[in-house]
């Protein structure tokens, strides 16, 4: 019984840690999207390729965060718990994407 409780706590902690990372990454992506849409609207965006270095940096931050969690708490990456961390990232980032989709669908069509 004790082992199952520890496994449950580890799985929930992994899901929570992944969710926080996914949510933070989604928040960064949404902020960048709003900033780039504003730049495009103002005519400051000359070429779409100028956005690529910033996108790469955000993905690098995501990888650094995942590596940091793995280094800080290696127990979250044993006995299948890493899949719970991954699921948390998917749920956190997917939630942000869904929230953005709902917001975009709620806006009246431009025209």
| Model confidence pLDDT, tens digit, residues 35-94 | 888 888 888 777 767 666 777 888 888 888 888 888 888 877 778 888 888 899 999 999
Residues 6+ apart with CB under 8 A from 55: 32
Ordered by start, the domain boundaries in the chain are 2-105
**43: phi > 0 → left, psi -120 to 50 → alpha, else beta; which?**
left
pLDDT per residue as tens digits for the range 71-88: 888 877 778 888 888 899
Closest CA to 93 of 21, 14, 11: 21
For the chain, the maximum distance between any two Cα atoms, rounded to a whole number of angstroms, is 63
Cα 87 from Cα 22, distance rounded (Å) = 9
């Amino acid at each position: 019984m004790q082992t199952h409780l520890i496994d449950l706590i580890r799985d929930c902690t992994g899901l929570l840690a992944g969710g926080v990372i996914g949510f933070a990454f989604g928040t960064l992506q949404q902020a960048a999207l709003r900033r780039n849409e504003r730049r495009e609207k103002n005519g400051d965006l000359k070429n779409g390729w100028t956005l690529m270095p910033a996108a790469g940096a955000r993905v690098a931050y995501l990888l650094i965060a995942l590596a940091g969690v793995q280094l800080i708490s290696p127990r979250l990456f044993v006995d299948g718990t890493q899949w719970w961390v991954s699921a948390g990232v998917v749920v956190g980032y997917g939630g942000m994407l869904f929230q953005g989709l709902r917001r975009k669908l709620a806006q009246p069509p431009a025209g």
